[in-house]
Structure 1
Amino acid sequence: MSSRLLAGRYELIQKIGDGGMAVVYKAKDKLLNRYIAIKILRPEFTKDEVFVENFKRESQAAAKLSHPNIVGVYDVGKEGNINYIVMELVDGRPLSDIIAEEAPMDYRTVINIARQVASALSVAHKNKIIHRDVKPHNILMTKDGVAKLADFGIAKAVNDATLSTGSKVIGSIHYFSPEQARGNYVDERSDIYSLGIVMYEMITGRVPFDGDNPVTVALKHINEDVIPPSEFVSGIPPALERCIMKCTDKFQTNRYSSADELIEELDNIEFVTKMVGESALNKAMETKDQEEEEEDSGKKKKKKKKRHLTPEQKKKRRIIAIVAAICLIPLLVLGVKALTTAKTTVPDLSNMTYAEAKAAAEDAGFKIEKGSSVYSDSVTKNHVADQDPGAGTEAKRGRTITVNLSKGSKDGTVPNVVGMNYDEVEKYLKKYGYKLGVVKEQTSTQAAGTILSQDPEGGADASKGSRVNIVISDGKGKEKATVPSVTGMSLAQAKAAIANAGFTVGNITYDESNVYGNGYVMWQQYAANTQLDKGTTIDIEVSKGKPQTDNGGDSGDTGDSTTTG
């Protein structure tokens, strides 16, 4: 595209990024004579006044953040119908590209990148800013290995102003915390969860939860346990795996309480793994030197004579030392454990998943193994029903704790009541040994009183006598349809798309645009993929082309047009 000026100062040079919320351009600040990046919001967001206000406020707050691991925000502005952010231009590429090429990544690299991102989050959190969209696509890596986190504050503006009105989710559901997926309260620990998912992907080359659609992935975040990374990749330090599992715990209270606490943990992991490796290598070299100083006959030690080694001999010696170091690592670990207290209290692992129990046992200095699968009326399926040695007893460190996992209640299968009428459900549940729990009402097109969903689901294992919560229809719902994306279409195309989707074209307004060509739709009242009642009217705005100058010419371009459509 040809260059053009924005706000009389920023010269757009070329498009370098295109996302669901904005288009990013490489530009030059003619006032300060430096290259920058400019993010221009897509038109469908600019007509939402609440969103624009939140966007400006959060971006201005992000502009106050100054840290080497944060992409700097220089300016926030508006020209005509264009809202934009001026940012630092990073000479690098997103972490997502590096993961695609190099994962599984070396654990030392994972620790290094995670610590840098956590440092960025620490500064933001202390300034009362929650990122809400930590993912590899928003982490830029410079050529010298510096990680820079981008889009601070923008995700919050989207969540506050847009998600509440039924618009599509902005961001990647693969990195959302369970509380984000539920639409619940989000805090600093939500960012820590997302960073934990990023660490998981770096160390394994895969995200823990995936599916055919965003809803499936969101439900997995809420309901399923994260599979430990070591089940996919060998050689991960146990301490690092425990760190990742703690970051991605389902419950906020079980995660690290702050980014600083996570940084401290990563520093400890890095220090311990480094020291264990160096100590083993030094011990191996000392052992090798001692063997060479012993005399063949009397085994009396004497000063070793200096001798010159060929390059091949030096290479062999290094290989022997490394192999010896690897063999000595378990001995060093046992030596460290021998210095600690001989006995300690066995932790209570009851009702934990096996992954949680494994982490808790290892933290306390014990090993763990699976025993039998047993029926239990009180313990959830696939959680620890009992253990040996028992919780609270004294046992030697290093001892193996055997855990028996629950198979659920022997005859406690929850009946399926979805589709039944509310009037008959209580009696039906009682027949199978269950009680009716919380009843919630939800707007639906189904007949009033029809059961739409239940918790636990039908067929699940649950203790007899437990309660089953249900959601019933209020019968007031109207048939829904999905709003099409008409931004960028010609007026005729947009009208046809709206009608075909089951809606009605509302008011059509016209305005000048530096981005959209003459006759093309540049704004629609409702965001694409929004679910609305059929027959709803949708207003649109159409571009009249670029603003005209006083002499009837164009707006000053001397090159090719930068409009789209």
Structure 2
Amino acid sequence: MIVIGNKIGERYEIIGNIGNGGMANVYLALDLILNREVAIKVLRFDFQDDQDAIRRFQREALAATEMVHPNIVSVYDVGEENGMQYIVMEYVKGTDLKKYIRDNSPIPLLTVVDLMEQILSAISVAHQHQIIHRDLKPQNILVDQDGTAKITDFGIAIALSETSITQTNTLLGSVHYLSPEQARGGMATRQSDIYALGIILYELLTGSVPFEGESAVSIALKHFQNDMPSVRRFNPEIPQALENVVLHATAKEVADRYQSIDEMYADLRTVLDPARANEPVFEPTVMTDETIRLTPINEEDYQPETVQAAVKQPDFDDDDDDDYEEKKPRKKWKKFVAIGIFLVLAVAGSLFALGMRKGDAVIPDIKGKTVEEATLVLNEKKIKVNGTEEIADDTIEKGKVVKTSPPIGTKVKSKSGIKIYVSSGEKSISMKDYTDEEVTDAKDDLLSKGFKDENIEMVKQNSDSVAENRVIKQTPKSGRKVVPEETKVTLIVSKGAKAFRLENMYGYSRNRAMSYLDSVNLVYREGSSEYNNNVPAGQVIYTIPSGGSEVAKGAEVTVVLSAGKDPSTLPSSSSSSSSTPSEETSETTTSSESPDDSTQHSKTQDNKNDGESRK
């Protein structure tokens, strides 16, 4: 058992408990070498004797260390101690997306799009590393105090997805985000992640999940039987283009969904553009009106009472909203019930799939052809073109077909329509981090990458921490995928600390001047002292800049101190002896007066007669 004060790997000291999940427990720890807080995920004790789980856990955890991205929780270390498997990760101060939605709904559309772009950017990197998350849900997405989203739980979800049939109920723990093919007992694919992301986007827009039910099975059935509710019913202000992203990502058939995360990202990026204001509602193309469906399967038609009782007590992740507080003792017969549930879902899915006739036309390979050439080829196959869309592609020449939706090779009904994606010839790149760079260097780099000068905006802002003319922050954030020619960039540039009026320090002592300048974060610089008949030695005559001038924190102020009266202006000894007390009094009174800044540099010059000079 891990308790506060324990050390793991002789390096990480446990200082708190972050959370307990169905697969692992997470602790807050202090890295004693780097002196930083980290999160340590420890594989639960009941999985530590399962060699398959351990092997996959280690392999996926190591793979996660390769996924360096600002929107993925960083993995620092992986290890084992006394049979305990653990992963050391970045500690994110903030909350999970589930609680963020609860606390902030309704969320402004700009914020929704921004969060989803961050999430898609992270999952794109995972898919490039051949890693499918399989358990995407708001509880596995963290949001820090700056509004940056970070994906977590890559390794655990994949490592435990193939352990044993008794884990079926655990997989149903995230049933609200489960794709139809997973609900039917099928294999998880990249499109399964895309489906889950569509549900997350739905929840960001509405504050709730699309399907609810009394049991995990009833919710799973709704995923492949019920139409996705319209987000515009909750908020008519949501543009149709944004709702279409939800509908496209959550299409029942895999072939109707986005074929990649990058495709979904490209579509989401422009949903708030006025040019897409009158976009029609997304319609799937694989399942046409001619498709034959079986009568929907009802939960009560096949689920015996004992199965219902078992399904109401699944072993959900502790951080899921679908948790069940009670847990009954396990019995041997429950293993058979779990197998029964799995088989029932698999059979239901098979019947659903068999209820659809295969299309009688295959989408031909039109990649690399012009739209006109592709249209002619498709017309020969009696396949209509429902529309075209430009996407960035590094390999296909501008104006030529990159892909289709449904994909090339898919069987569709004759006279059904497909969408063609045409290369825009533009290359998308990851946005660089320009923070703390000189603004001229940042702009030159942007222009060299193909960003247009008119699309680069610089906004000046005071900053006490960032030097003048250096970048404080930027939009888009670093790591985002952007097309330079189309992207508008805003650089927030420091104009230094906020200016204030310098106090008039005439007559101040040296110590008082230093104390004042230190209190307002100004740098004391002492100039050469000067004779002054009006200011006693050691006191301030004037400053550069002068009192009343505008200065900013960190600026230097040169202070000129009095060296006392000018010896050349003092009377001779005989003259001094004839001085009257009234004259001395008058001189003392004069020296206490504060002259204007314009007279601070003047020095008194006494005329001496020739007689005094000869003495």
Query: What residue in structure 2 maps to residue 36 of structure 1?
Result: 38
Amino acid at match of 2:41: K
Shift of 1:503: 5.2
Query: What residue in structure 2 maps to residue 138 of structure 1?
Result: 140
User: Are residue 256 (structure 1) and residue 258 (structure 2) matched?
Assistant: yes
Shift of 1:48: 1.3
1:339-394 per-position Cα deviation (integer Å, ceiling 9, x unaligned): xxxxxxxxxxxxxxxxxx94349x9xxxxxxxxxxxxxxxx9xx968xxxxxxxxx
Equivalences for 1:503-514 in 2 at 5 Å?
none
Query: What residue in structure 2 maps to residue 61 of structure 1?
Result: 63
* Change in 2 beyond 3 A, CA 1:52/1:199: same
1:43-95 per-position Cα deviation (integer Å, ceiling 9, x unaligned): 11112111111111111111110000000111221111322111110111111
Cα contact 1:133–1:171 (8 A) shared by 2 = no
Equivalences for 1:91-170 in 2 at 5 Å?
91-163=93-165, 168-169=170-171
Query: What residue in structure 2 maps to residue 359 of structure 1?
Result: 282
Partner Cα separation in structure 2 for residue 232 and residue 209 of structure 1: 14
Partner Cα separation in structure 2 for residue 181 and residue 106 of structure 1: 32
* Change in 2 beyond 3 A, CA 1:56/1:530: farther
Partner Cα separation in structure 1 for residue 167 and residue 113 of structure 2: 39
* 2:271 counterpart SS class: helix
Cα contact 2:169–2:314 (8 A) shared by 1 = no
Once superposed, what is the RMSD of the aligned Cα atoms?
4.0
* 1:2 aligned residue (1, 4, 12): 4
Shift of 1:153: 2.8
Cα contact 2:181–2:188 (8 A) shared by 1 = yes
1:313-361 per-position Cα deviation (integer Å, ceiling 9, x unaligned): xxxxxxxxxxxxxxxxxxxx79xx9xxxxxxxxxxxxxxxxxxx94349
Equivalences for 1:222-301 in 2 at 5 Å?
222-270=224-272, 272-273=273-274
Amino acid at match of 1:147: A
* 2:67 counterpart SS class: coil
Amino acid at match of 1:172: S
Partner Cα separation in structure 1 for residue 159 and residue 25 of structure 2: 17
Cα contact 2:210–2:228 (8 A) shared by 1 = yes
Cα contact 1:222–1:250 (8 A) shared by 2 = yes
Partner Cα separation in structure 1 for residue 207 and residue 62 of structure 2: 35
Partner Cα separation in structure 1 for residue 296 and residue 146 of structure 2: 51
Shift of 1:236: 0.3
Query: What residue in structure 1 maps to residue 48 of structure 2?
Result: 46
Query: What residue in structure 1 maps to residue 423 of structure 2?
Result: none
* Change in 2 beyond 3 A, CA 1:117/1:255: same
Partner Cα separation in structure 2 for residue 192 and residue 118 of structure 1: 9
Partner Cα separation in structure 1 for residue 335 and residue 68 of structure 2: 34
Amino acid at match of 1:29: D
Shift of 1:233: 1.9
Shift of 1:238: 0.7
Equivalences for 1:343-422 in 2 at 5 Å?
358-360=281-283
Amino acid at match of 2:89: M
Cα contact 1:95–1:139 (8 A) shared by 2 = yes
* 1:153 counterpart SS class: helix
Shift of 1:232: 2.0
Q: Which has the larger radius of gyration?
A: 2
Shift of 1:2: 3.2
Amino acid at match of 1:95: L
Amino acid at match of 1:359: F
Equivalences for 1:335-350 in 2 at 5 Å?
none
Partner Cα separation in structure 2 for residue 201 and residue 268 of structure 1: 20
* Change in 2 beyond 3 A, CA 1:6/1:32: same
Cα contact 1:46–1:83 (8 A) shared by 2 = yes
* 2:15 aligned residue (13, 16, 19): 13
Query: What residue in structure 2 maps to residue 345 of structure 1?
Result: none
* Change in 2 beyond 3 A, CA 1:503/1:264: closer
Partner Cα separation in structure 1 for residue 150 and residue 337 of structure 2: 32
Query: What residue in structure 2 maps to residue 318 of structure 1?
Result: none
What is the aligned residue count? 322
Cα contact 1:20–1:170 (8 A) shared by 2 = no
User: Are residue 210 (structure 1) and residue 212 (structure 2) matched?
Assistant: yes
Cα contact 1:481–1:501 (8 A) shared by 2 = no
* Change in 2 beyond 3 A, CA 1:212/1:481: closer
Partner Cα separation in structure 2 for residue 232 and residue 165 of structure 1: 36
Structure 1 unaligned residues grouped into runs of 5+: 277-332, 338-356, 364-379, 386-405, 409-413, 415-454, 461-469, 472-479, 486-496, 505-525, 533-565
Query: What residue in structure 1 maps to residue 551 of structure 2?
Result: none
Partner Cα separation in structure 2 for residue 96 and residue 21 of structure 1: 19
Amino acid at match of 1:52: I
* Change in 2 beyond 3 A, CA 1:457/1:358: closer
* Change in 2 beyond 3 A, CA 1:112/1:529: farther
* 1:98 counterpart SS class: helix
Amino acid at match of 1:242: N
Partner Cα separation in structure 1 for residue 338 and residue 22 of structure 2: 14
Could you state the TM-score of these two structures normalised by the residue count of structure 2?
0.47
* 1:61 counterpart SS class: helix
The share of aligned pairs that are identical, in percent, is: 40
* 1:35 counterpart SS class: strand
Partner Cα separation in structure 1 for residue 176 and residue 107 of structure 2: 19
* Change in 2 beyond 3 A, CA 1:529/1:30: farther
Amino acid at match of 2:209: V
* 1:269 counterpart SS class: coil
Cα contact 1:163–1:169 (8 A) shared by 2 = no
Cα contact 1:76–1:84 (8 A) shared by 2 = yes
Could you state the TM-score of these two structures normalised by the residue count of structure 1?
0.51
Shift of 1:168: 3.1
Query: What residue in structure 2 maps to residue 201 of structure 1?
Result: 203
Structure 2 unaligned residues grouped into runs of 5+: 303-308, 316-326, 341-615
Partner Cα separation in structure 2 for residue 29 and residue 49 of structure 1: 29
* 1:183 counterpart SS class: coil
* Change in 2 beyond 3 A, CA 1:503/1:199: closer
Cα contact 1:70–1:150 (8 A) shared by 2 = yes
User: Are residue 73 (structure 1) and residue 72 (structure 2) matched?
Assistant: no
Cα contact 2:23–2:156 (8 A) shared by 1 = no
Partner Cα separation in structure 2 for residue 166 and residue 229 of structure 1: 31
Partner Cα separation in structure 2 for residue 180 and residue 150 of structure 1: 21
Query: What residue in structure 2 maps to residue 176 of structure 1?
Result: 178
* Change in 2 beyond 3 A, CA 1:109/1:162: farther
* 1:161 counterpart SS class: coil
Amino acid at match of 1:159: S
Partner Cα separation in structure 2 for residue 220 and residue 145 of structure 1: 33
Partner Cα separation in structure 2 for residue 251 and residue 502 of structure 1: 37
Shift of 1:245: 0.6
1:19-48 per-position Cα deviation (integer Å, ceiling 9, x unaligned): 111111110111222210001121111121
* Change in 2 beyond 3 A, CA 1:221/1:33: same
Cα contact 1:484–1:501 (8 A) shared by 2 = no
* 1:89 aligned residue (81, 86, 91): 91
